[in-house]
Structure 1
Amino acid sequence: MIGPKRLLNGLSRQIKVYGSNVNILKTPTEFRDTLLKLSSEVKERSRISTLYIGTGDTEHGVVNNLVSSVKKHGCDVSLMIDRYRGTRDGGIILKDLRRMGLVHLYQAPYWSRVRYNKPGIIGELLGVHHMKYYLFDDNVIISGANMSDIYFDKRQDRYFLIKSKQLADYICFFHSLHSTCAKVWDVGNYGRSHWLGKGNLNIASTTAGNFTCNTSIEKDTTLRDLGPSDGDTFIYPIFQMPCFSVHQIDEALDLLLNTADSNQNFTLSSGYFNPSKRLLDSLKHTKAQVDIIIPSNEANGFYKGASLKGLVPDMYNLSAMRTLQKCPNVNIFQYSRDDWSYHAKGLWSNNLTILGSSNFNQRSSSRDTEFSVAIVTDNDELKDSLLAERDSLRLHSGDLQKCYRSISAVGFPIMSQFL
């Protein structure tokens, strides 16, 4: 068996931290309260990347805190959201930050070919900016949750608060490169894509390739000292930018699953489980036992959705049936909890976890931009916390292996491309 540190070292940069500086937030309300607290205390810098920002009281509170920090302390603030999903409500809540030129809209390059520029759900079909991180000075929250009120109550997700200047520096550097390839939100010029012309696209492609490969970063010398030498926890940032042929999250799963032996166990979780062919092949051939947690129909974010959205939970269940039929070492568990929805995604195995925005599905593999981190720890307390986090999700999950194995898988090749 090859250790995860050795595998991941060849894929991504290694950032060392102390395990005592990694705090697993357990509930949506703890996530909410932490966002409010950290945004009210920020003095130097903040970077937020999310699919969209909601319009509730918490979102207003965080945005107002950032506006105040800019005015009082000259704080360096930058937000990046998806061009289509992030502008459904007109972005009223962000108007003050927009006036300061601090909000960037990221559009998947695919749309530039057809010149589609209107906000709304159609613009989201070919890919969205799906990265989620919330940075305040040297504190970084890595999560799969968006900054919206539905994620602050009864919606199960994952949230790690990591205190590390080196990780914060790294994310700020990446954010600056990525936001350069986005468009500053200028409502008067919304109709013009930032990908028009080949210049930006070529620059972005080169930047993405150089930044995500495992080489030294020459432009910023502060990023060469990636954490304390005696750090006991190792963080590996991994990206997915399919339009630029960057598939580090897919590659990490391939490495971990395909090199595992029969003594290993993995738990994988996804709010929207529809594995790509690549992941399905890894699940089919891995020697390890893999338990997968998915939402029940009632816990799916599309449950009782209007029109065709109401069919989405059943489509994901068909995907689960297909996976069980083809993968002998896989069990599937369905999360069900009164009035709760399920949005947690990640991977656990012994002292390893992966968390972030990726649902490990077809969309994540082929269309959306994603950011996750793999964490390997030698800190005993953090190891126990990782297992406790996994077990808390399993506590509300029932085993569906027996009933699904007896059902023939149903194909949905066209619909699956948009899930």
Structure 2
Amino acid sequence: MLSPLQKYAPTFYARGDDITPLYEPYAFYSELKTRILNAKERVFIAALYIGHAEQELVETLRQALRRSDRLKVCILIDCLRGTRVSKGKSSATLLLSLIQEFPSQVQVSLYHTPDLTGMLKKTLPQRFNEGIGLMHLKIYGFDDTVMLSGANLSQDYFTNRQDRYMIFNNNHSLTNYYHDLLNTVRSFSYQLQPGTNELIPYQLTMQQDTVDPIQETSDTVVLPVIQMGPFGIRQDEKTTLRLLEIAHENKNWTIDLTSGYFNFTDRYKSFILRTQARFRFLTAAPEANGFFNSKGVSRYLPPAYTWIEKQFFNHIQRSQRDNDITIEEYKRPGWTYHAKGLWAKMGTQTRPMLTMIGSPNFGHRSSERDLEAQAIVITQNENLQEALHKEVERLHDYSELVTKETFTRKDRLVPYGVRAATAMIKTML
């Protein structure tokens, strides 16, 4: 029934017992450090950025490198975000010491969107230029194990910013696939190198490198998909839409879908509204949005997402789908919400047999501007199905149902200026 999805993505097989979701940020950080220290051959990391203050993480990498001169560390971050200076530091300057100490073991690459060039490149200031497009992959690999997530590498993602994290243990072919993906993006990215003096602490150069993946077999199928809108690669979008078609054709599916940033494309919205399935959407409440109470223009982003959410809620009402499509908001005091992904149950099943895990938010930026990586995991393994059920229900433990009254509350009223601005910059959200 799900075999049509294999037309859109490569297929990898795994044992469900070798796949482990994590549930808390501290577990993600602890596992990340432990896996780095235990790695024998390779550590590869792709993330939007590494927080400029994450010295402990850098020291963990340094400790692992000192243990073995065979260990190779490859890091891929976004160039715009990774060179953004905060308090005199950036991801690039933070990682520079590793390159200087281990020049034959460490490679740091910075992807730069091809859409930011010429006068636009010269005139757009930092932070604003990131709206043009970013490298948004979140991949963490250690020898023959890979961890997929939506989380970046900074303090809030290690403490009180809820996300998703899934470990694929002992899967040589799948890990090689993501290693190959990372190296492919690296081949057209800048390479971080030491600079010539204190005024020029680092320089960016170019190089190429590739790796081939290998297949395995078992009770679980893993289909990696990528989305690179600037390059015309729409694998993730096509596969997701085909999955919704399969759900519609077979009926009686229950689909949980979550994103910290609620901004579906028109294609996703139309497919969702016509798909004969029960949907539970989970997104961040305004106070759980990472931009809540931020400085500058970004403080208007939570109300902008509220406006987009309200419009979709109204679409549900007009389509008379409010009995089988619901929206919930994640609220947890002191926490922000960044989890993204999908879980699906067929017919009378009580546990998900499919999940999507990775970096996309199912929105305009993910589809058109950013570079994204995701995996579809389809399993018959009951232990993994139970773990997936636990994962999604734990997220809903902190949620509240959205109703008409939600948008009439004083704190949820969206200023007219924000509504107008949202329409103009919707594809950048």
Does TM-score exceed 0.5, indicating one fold? yes
Residue 415 of structure 1: CA displacement?
Answer: 2.4
Write out aligned runs for 1:128-277 (5 A): 128-163=134-169, 164-186=171-193, 188=195, 223=213, 225-228=214-217, 231-261=218-248, 262-277=251-266
Q: Residue type of the partner of 2:96?
A: K
C-alpha change, 1:251 and 1:191, in structure 2 (3 Å) is farther
The answer as to 2:73 corresponding to 1:73 is no
The 5-angstrom pairing of residues 2-401 of structure 1 reads: 3-4=1-2, 6-54=3-51, 55-68=53-66, 72-88=68-84, 89-90=89-90, 91-99=92-100, 100=103, 102-114=107-119, 116=121, 120-163=126-169, 164-186=171-193, 188=195, 223=213, 225-228=214-217, 231-261=218-248, 262-327=251-316, 328=319, 329=321, 330-350=325-345, 351-401=353-403
Gaps of 5+ in 1: 208-218
**What is the TM-score when the length of structure 1 is the normalising length?**
0.86
Once residues 61 and 71 of structure 2 are traced to their aligned partners in structure 1, the CA distance between those partners, rounded to angstroms, is: 13
Give the CA deviation at 1:194: 7.5
The answer on whether the counterparts of 1:87 and 1:119 sit within 8 Å (CA) in structure 2 is no
Query: Do the aligned partners of residues 80 and 119 (structure 1) sit closer, same or farther apart at CA in structure 2, a change above 3 Å counting?
Result: farther
Assess if the C-alpha contact under 8 Å between 1:292 and 1:332 holds in 2.
yes
Alignment of 1:418 onto 2:422 = no
The 8 Å contact of residues 294 and 335 in structure 1, kept in 2 or not, is answered as yes
Displacement of 1:283 = 1.6
- Whether the aligned pair in 1 keeps the contact of 2:96 and 2:193 (CA below 8 Å) is no
Q: 1:129 is paired with a residue of what secondary structure? A: coil
Distance 1:233 1:194 in 2: 40
Q: What amino acid is the match of 1:13?
A: P
Structure 2: 5+ residue stretches without partners? 346-352
Contact 1:324 1:404 (8 Å CA) reproduced: no
1:258–1:285 CA contact under 8 A, matched in 2: no
How far apart in 1 are the matches of 2:202 and 2:117? 11
- Using the aligned pairs only, state the percent identity: 28
Identify if the C-alpha distance between structure 1 residues 58 and 94 changes in structure 2 by more than 3 Å, giving closer, same or farther.
same
- Using the size of structure 2 for normalisation, the TM-score is 0.85
Q: Tell me the amino acid that sits aligned with residue 250 of structure 1.
A: E
1:398 positional shift:
0.7
The alignment yields a C-alpha RMSD, in angstroms, of 2.6
Letter in 1 for 2:373: F
CA distance in 1, matches of 2:82, 2:163: 20
For 1:85, give the aligned amino acid.
R
Deviation >6 Å, runs of 4+: 189-195, 405-409
For the residue of structure 1 that corresponds to 2:376, the secondary structure is strand
| TM-aligned CA distance change 1:115 to 1:58, over 3 Å | same
